[in-house]
Amino acid sequence: MRILKGNIFAVLAKIIFVTVAMSVLGYAMITSYGTGDTPFSIFFGVCILLLAFTYFTNISVPLKFFAPGLMFLAAFVIVPVVFTLSMSGFKYQTGNMISKEDAVKTIVDQGTEPDAEGTAFDVVVGYAGKNKNNTALLSTKEVEGSIDPNQELIAFDAMVGYYGGDVNNIAILATDSYEQIPYAFFIATQTQFIPITKGQVTTDDWGIAQTAPNFKTFTNAQLNDVADKLLGLRFQYEQNIFIKLDLMPIDGLTQASLNTLVANYDYYLATKDKYVKLDSKTVESNPQGYGYKAPGFTAYTDAELGKYSEKLGSFRFKYKDPYFLRLEGLPTGGVGFATVNVQNLTYDKKSDTVSSYLTKATYKDDGRGNFRNTKDKADYLDPGWRQGIWFENFTNLFTEPKIREPLIAVFIWTIAFASLTVITQFSFGLLIAMALDKKIRGRGVYRSIMVLPYAMPSIMSILIWAGMFNDDGAINGLFNLNIQWLHDPWLAKFVVLLVNLWLGFPYFYLISSGSLQAIPKELAESASIDGATSRQIFRLITLPLLLRMLTPLLIASFAFNFNNFNIIYLLTGGGPEFSFGSLAGATDILISYTYKLAFGQTVQDYGLASAISVVIFIIVASISMYGIKKSKVLDDFA
Amino acid sequence: MIKFFSWLRHNSWRHFIGVFFCLFAAFPLYLVVLSSFSDDQSLRSMNFLPNSFVFDNYKILFTDPDVPFLTWMKNSAIVASLVSVFSVAIGAASAFAFSRLRFKGKRAGLQALLLIQMFPSVLALSAIYVIMERVFVFAPQFGLGTFGGLVLVYLGGSMGVNIWLMKGFVDSIPLELDEAAKVDGATAMQTYWQIFLPLASPILAVVTLLSFIGLFNEFIMARLFLPEKESRTVAVGLQSFIGGQYSKNWGPFAAGSLLASIPIIIVFMALQRYIIGGLTAGSVKG
C-alpha cells in the first residue's frame, strides 16, 4: 500500500487535510441537495470522488498536484463558461427569469380577483375546535344600523350647503332654537361636527343661522343636483349618533333630527372547508362589535399568530363557492381584515393551459416562455419562464434591427478602440524607447517617472482622469475652457483613447526598450557602413525585427483592450448615448454593452447578453490562439 | 561651445521626448497631489501652482462616517491578501507539475490554461452572478453579497493567471537539484515539498504580491458582490463616493485615491525587475 510509505507526519497531515476538505464538500453536497439544487450537489459529489481517488490511491501523480486548482477552475471558470453557453440558448430576461413550474405557481397564486362588490370583513384569527392547526376566522359583518325607537325627537332648523369651499363636502348649518343640546349653532358634515358661536353667524328674523365661516348655502340648482341622495346622508354628531334631514329643503332650509345608530352584527365562522353563520347571542364581542370568542372558536395568542404567520398570508378560507376569504396582511391588535376573492386563473396540467374564470379566456403556452391568450395575441400572463429557443438569441443579433443597429456601431468602435489603442501605445512607447536607448543624463529619472502610470492602480487613475475631463473638471478649469468632453461622441472617443494611451504607453516603452537591446548592434553598424541612413536602418532593420519579436504581445494587448471593461465603464460609462434613452453609447465597447444588457437598471436580458458574450469569446479566443501560435510559446513543452 | 551644439544635435531630441512624456505621465498625478492638499473645492479655479496646503481632505477620510475609507482599505486588504495567498498556495502545485513533471496531455492542458487566461471573467459575469445567487440558498455565508463568496470567485478567477505566471518563473529555476533528488529516489511529492518549495519561495512571494496588486484593482465583481457601503472595497467605495459628482467631492477623493495608490506604487516599484521580466512572457497587467 502506497499510503503507508513516507514520513508518518506527512501521511497524517495529508489524511487530515483531505478528510477535512472532503467533509466540507460533503456538507455542501448535503445542504445543496436539501434545498433542491441537484446540479450543485452533483458537482460537490464529483469533487469528493476526485479528492478520494487522487489522494488515497495512486492512479495519477500529476493529478495530485492539479486537483485543488482544478476544482476552483472548474467551479468558477469552466462552469460559468458552460453556463454562459447554455444561457445563450434561452429566452432569459426580465419577466422570463424563473422555471416554468415556478411561473405556473406564481400565476395561479397571483391569479385571484376580489369579488365585484369588494366585500370585506373584520376578522379575528384563531382555530376551530381543539386542533390549533385548524385555522379559522371569526368574521364580523356589520349590517345596516337602525334608529333607536326610544330616542326622543331632537330636531333642528338647518340650512343645507357645503363646507370648506368643496361643493362635494355637503354640510348643514343648524340652529338649536330650543336649547336641547349644548350648542346653539353648529355645522355638521359627513365626517365633522363643528360647534359655532353666536358671533360667527348671521341670523334671519327667526333667529335661524344663515351664514357661517366656510359654509355656503346651496342654490336651488345645486340642491337639485344632490336631491337624490340628500335624505340618505348621515351628518356627524357623536359616535353612533348622527343627523339626518327629515324633509327636502326649500330655499336651502329644512328640518334635521338626531338619530341613534344601533349597529347589528352578523358573525360567521370560516375554516378551510366550512363557512357557517353563528348565532349572534353566543358570540362574545368587544365594544367595537368585533366578535372574538364563540363556541368552537378560540383566537390565536400573539405568539401563535407569529408562529402561523407564514401560512396565514396565502391561506384560503371557505366562502360561497367559488369565492373564498383571504387575509389582507397580518392582524394587528388582534383584529385583521379579510376580503372575498375568486380564483380567476387556473392551470390545467393535461392541456397545459391557463384559463380565466371571469373572462373565460384560455391562455396557451406560446412556446416562447409565456402563456398567451388564444384570442388576443397581445394578452399574455406575467411572469413568463426561461424558455429554450436554441439559436434565436444569436440570429436576433443579425435580424432584429433594434438589437443589430446599436450592436454594429458598438462592434465597429470596439475594433477601432482596440486597434487604435495598440497603435498609439506601441508607437509612442517605441518612440520613447528609441529616444532613451542611449545612455543620456537623467535616463533613470525619466524612466521612473514614466513608469508611474503603469504602477498606479488603473482603477484609481481612470477615476482621476474621469474627474479631470468632467464638465467642471480640472482640464476645463486649468485651461479656462468650457468643453463638454464626455458629452460629445467624438470628443468622448478621443478622451478614451488619450487616457488609454496614458495608461499603456509605459508598458510598451518598457518592452520595446528591452527588445531594442536584444537586437544585435552589428546589424545597424554594418548597414551604416554600407551607407544606409538612420531612417533606412529603422525602417528596414529595426522595425521589422521589433515587430516580429513583439507581434504576440501586440496581439495580446489587442485582445486585452478588446475587453477593456474598466476604462469604458469608469471613464464614460459607455456614454454619450446614441439617442435619448438608448442603452448603448458612443464609447461603449462590446463588453460594456453586454454588461448593461445583463445588469441594466430597467431591463435585464441574460439570454442576449450571453449570446454576445459567446461571440466575444470566439473573437478573442481566435485572436489569442493566433497570437499563441505566432509566439511559439508552447513549442518548448511539446 | 562646439561640444554643446553637438550635444544639442545628438541628444536634445531625446531629452525633449523624455521631458514631454514625463510631463504627460506626471500631469494628472501632480494635479491629484495638489488638489488633495487644497482647501478650494472648486475645480474650476484650479491652478498649476498650489494655492494652499491643508489636510482637510485627509481629515474627512478618517472622520466622516459617510466615507468609511479605513473600512474600505481594510476590506480590500483582507480580500486581496486572502485570495493572493490561497491562490498561490494552491496554484504552486499546478505550476510545479506543468514545469517539472512529464505526463500525457501537458501541452493540451497548458493550451487550455492559456485560453482561460485570455477569457476575461467579465464575460462569465452573468453566469457567476446566477451561480452565486443559487449558492446563497444553501450556503448563505458564501453566496452573493458576502466576502466569502467574493473570495471564492476571485480564487477561481485568478487561478489560471497565477499558475501561468508561476510556471514561467519556475521554469527559470535550474533543474539540477530536483534531478539529483530524483536520482536519490525521491518521489514527485517529496521533491515538491522538500526541494521545490524552499527554492521557489521568493518567486511565490513575488507572484503573491503581483496577484495582490491585480486584485486590488478589481472592480466589477467587487461592485456586484458587495453593494453595502460598509463592505465595499476601496476601488468600489471611492467610485461610489465620487459617483459622478467630481466637483463636489473631488478633494477627499483625490486624497483617498492617493492613499490607496501609494502602497501599490511602492510594491510595484520594488518588484519592477520581476514584473518587467514577466511582461515579456506575455502577461498584460490589467
Q: What is the mean pLDDT of residues A107-131?
A: 86
- Whether the complex's predicted ipTM is more than 0.85 is answered with yes
Spatial CB neighbours of A89, under 8 Å, sequence gap ≥ 6: A388, A389, A390, A391, A393, A607
pLDDT value at position B277?
62
Could you give the residue ranges of the DSSP H alpha helices within A263-336?
302-314
Give the pLDDT of residue A504.
93
pTM score: 0.76
B260 in reach of chain A (CB within 8 A): yes
Chain B positions touching A44 (Cβ under 8 A) are: none
User: Which residues of chain A have a CB within 8 Å of the CB of B120?
Assistant: 563, 565, 591, 620
Indicate yes or no: CB of A457 within 8 angstroms of CB of B213.
yes
Q: How far is B218 from chain A (nearest CA, A)?
A: 8
Give me the percent of chain A exceeding a pLDDT of 90: 20
Q: Do A69 and B128 touch (CB under 8 A)?
A: no
pLDDT score of B138 more than 60: yes
Q: What size, in residues, is chain A?
A: 638
Residue B43 has pLDDT above 90, yes or no: no
Looking at residue B285, its pLDDT comes to 39
Q: Convert the pLDDT of each residue in A416-427 to its tens digit.
A: 999 999 999 999
Q: Is the pLDDT of residue A298 over 80?
A: yes
Does B120 or A267 have the greater pLDDT score?
A: A267
What is the per-residue pLDDT across B60-112, written as a single tens digit (0 to 9) for each? 888 888 888 999 999 999 999 999 999 999 999 999 999 888 888 888 888 88
pLDDT interval class at A208 (50, 70, 90) = confident
**B127–A80 CB contact, under 8 Å:** yes
Write the pLDDT tens digit of every residue in A502-529.
999 999 998 898 888 888 888 888 888 9
CB contact under 8 A, A459 and B192: no
Query: In this structure, what are the phi and psi dihedrals at residue A149, rounded to the nearest 5 degrees?
Result: -70, -25
| Per-residue pLDDT band at B46 (split at 50, 70, 90) | low
Residue A3 pLDDT exceeds 50:
no
Residue A191: all three cell numbers together: 365626517
Band of the pLDDT at A2, cuts 50, 70, 90? very low
Q: Give the chain A residue whose CA is nearest to the CA of B259.
A: A460
B203 has pLDDT over 90: no
Q: Is B183 touching A (CB cutoff 8 A)?
A: no
- Indicate the residue type of B29: L
The C-alpha cell that represents A518 in the structure block: 536584444
What are the chain A neighbours of B269 within 8 Å (beta carbons)?
448, 451, 455
Determine the pLDDT at residue A424: 97
List A residues 594-623 in contact with B (Cβ-Cβ < 8 A). Answer: 594-595, 598-599, 606, 609-610, 613, 616-617, 620-621
Query: DSSP 3-state assignment of A38?
Result: helix
Q: Does A571 touch chain B (CB under 8 A)?
A: no
Average pLDDT over residues A284-303: 81
Q: Over 60: is that where the pLDDT of A149 sits?
A: no
Within 10 angstroms of residue B156's Cβ, the number of other Cβ atoms is 25
Task: Provide the pLDDT for residue A636.
Answer: 46
CB within 8 Å: A80 and B261: no
pLDDT number for residue B79: 93
What integer best gives the mean pLDDT of chain A? 86
- Amino acid identity of residue A32, one-letter, is S
d(CA A299, CA A293): 7
Closest Cα in chain B, distance from residue A386 (Å): 13
Interface probe for A, chosen from B76, B85, B123 (most Cβ of A below 10 Å), is: B123
- End-to-end Cα spacing for chain B: 48
Choose, out of B6, B11, B14, the residue to mutate when testing the contact with A (most A CBs < 10 Å): B14
Least confident of A75-84, A168-177, A282-291: A282-291
Contact A84 B286 (CB under 8 A): no
Q: How far is B25 from chain A (nearest CA, A)?
A: 6
Q: Which of A75-79, A87-91, A471-475, B263-267 has the lowest mean pLDDT?
A: A471-475
Q: Categorize the per-residue pLDDT at B170 as very low, low, confident or very high, splitting at 50, 70 and 90.
A: confident
Question: CB-CB: which of B21, B128, B159 is closest to A432?
Answer: B21
Cell, residue A281: 347571542
Q: Which residues of A547-557 are buried (b: 16+ CB within 10 A; e: fewer)?
A: eebbebbbbbb
List of residues 6+ apart from A50 with CB closer than 8 A: A67, A70, A71
Give the integer Cα–Cα distance in Å for A245 and A172: 9
For the packed helices B2-36 and A489-518, what is the interaxial angle rounded to 10 degrees?
Answer: 130
Buried/exposed code over A168-195 (b: 16+ C-beta within 10 A; e: otherwise): eebbbbbbbeeeeeebbbbbbbeeebbe
Q: A124 exposed, middle or buried (CB, 10 Å; 0-12, 13-18, 19+)?
A: buried
pLDDT of A634 over the 60 cut = no
Q: Does A355 touch chain B (CB under 8 A)?
A: no
Q: Chain B contact for A505, CB < 8 A?
A: yes
Kindly determine whether residue A66 and residue B97, on different chains, have CB atoms separated by under 8 Å: yes
Which tops the pLDDT comparison, A284 or B276? A284
**Taking CB atoms and an 8 Å cutoff, what residues of chain A touch B87?**
72
Q: What is the mean pLDDT of residues B214-233?
A: 86
Residues of B in contact with A635 (CB under 8 A): none
CB contact under 8 A, A591 and B276: no
What pLDDT shows up at residue B239? 86
For chain B, the average pLDDT equals: 83
Q: Residue B181 above 70 pLDDT? A: yes
pLDDT tens-digit profile of A532-578?
Answer: 888 888 888 889 888 888 887 888 888 889 889 889 998 998 879 88
Give yes or no for a contact between A299 and A138, defined as CB atoms under 8 angstroms apart. Answer: yes
Predicted pLDDT of residue A524: 84
Indicate yes or no: CB of A570 within 8 angstroms of CB of B239: yes
pLDDT greater at residue A294 or residue B121: A294
Cβ of residue A568 closer than 8 Å to a chain B Cβ: no
Q: Note which residues in 20-79 of chain B have CB less than 8 A from chain A.
A: 21-22, 24-26, 28-29, 31-32, 35, 42-48
Q: Judge whether residue A4 has pLDDT over 60.
A: no
Contact state of B156 with A77 under an 8 Å Cβ cutoff: yes
pLDDT digits 0-9 by tens, A457-498: 898 899 889 888 888 778 888 888 888 888 899 999 999 999
**pLDDT above 60: residue A280:** yes
Each residue of A30-61: pLDDT tens digit? 998 988 888 889 999 999 999 999 998 888 88
pLDDT digits (tens, 9 = 90+) for A353-364: 999 888 888 999
- The span from the CA of A157 to the CA of A173, in Å, is 8
